[in-house]
C-alpha cells in the first residue's frame, strides 16, 4: 500500500525565518510560500534529491499548527507523508483494520494539488501520518 516517503513536515513559528535558515545556512532550494486556507497553513518545501521537507506556519489562530506551536513554541516535527496509489482504497483498508482517519474521512486537496488524508497519531506510535495519492 505505501509508496515512497513524500515529505517530512516541520511546524515553524515563522516561515520566513525558517526558510532563510534552510536557504542561506544549508544552501537548500526553497519553494515560494503557498497559503492553504482549507488546511489552515502556509507551506514551503525544501527540495531534496530523494524527498522534501515541508515547513508549516499557522494561517490564523484556528490553525491546527497554532495549537501544535502552543505546545512546542520553537516548532518541531509535525508529520510524515507517504505516497499511495489509490487514496480511497488505502482509506478503506485502514478503516477496516481499525485505523482512525482524521476529519470527516474524505480526502482534501493538499499542497501538491493531490488528494490527502491524515491518520490519527495514536494509531501510528505517536506520529501523525499524511497519505498523498500519487
| Active site (catalytic) residues | 130
Provide the grid cell at 50. Answer: 530523494
Which H helix or E strand runs over 67?
A: helix 64-71
CB 103 within 8 A of CB 91: no
Provide the grid cell at 3. Answer: 509508496
Specify the DSSP class assigned to residue 121: G
Amino acid at each position: 500500500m505505501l509508496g515512497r516517503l513524500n515529505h517530512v513536515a516541520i511546524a515553524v513559528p515563522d516561515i520566513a525565518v525558517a526558510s532563510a535558515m534552510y536557504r542561506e545556512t544549508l544552501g537548500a532550494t526553497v519553494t515560494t510560500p503557498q497559503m492553504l486556507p482549507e488546511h489552515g497553513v502556509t507551506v514551503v518545501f525544501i527540495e531534496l534529491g530523494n524527498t522534501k521537507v515541508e515547513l508549516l506556519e499557522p494561517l490564523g489562530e484556528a490553525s491546527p499548527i497554532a495549537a501544535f506551536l502552543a505546545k512546542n513554541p520553537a516548532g518541531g516535527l509535525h508529520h510524515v507523508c507517504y505516497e499511495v496509489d489509490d487514496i480511497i482504497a488505502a482509506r478503506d483498508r485502514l478503516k477496516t483494520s481499525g485505523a482512525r482517519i482524521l476529519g470527516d474521512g474524505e480526502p482534501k486537496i493538499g499542497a501538491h494539488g493531490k488528494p490527502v488524508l491524515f491518520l490519527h497519531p495514536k494509531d501510528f506510535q505517536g506520529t501523525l501520518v499524511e497519505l498523498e495519492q500519487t
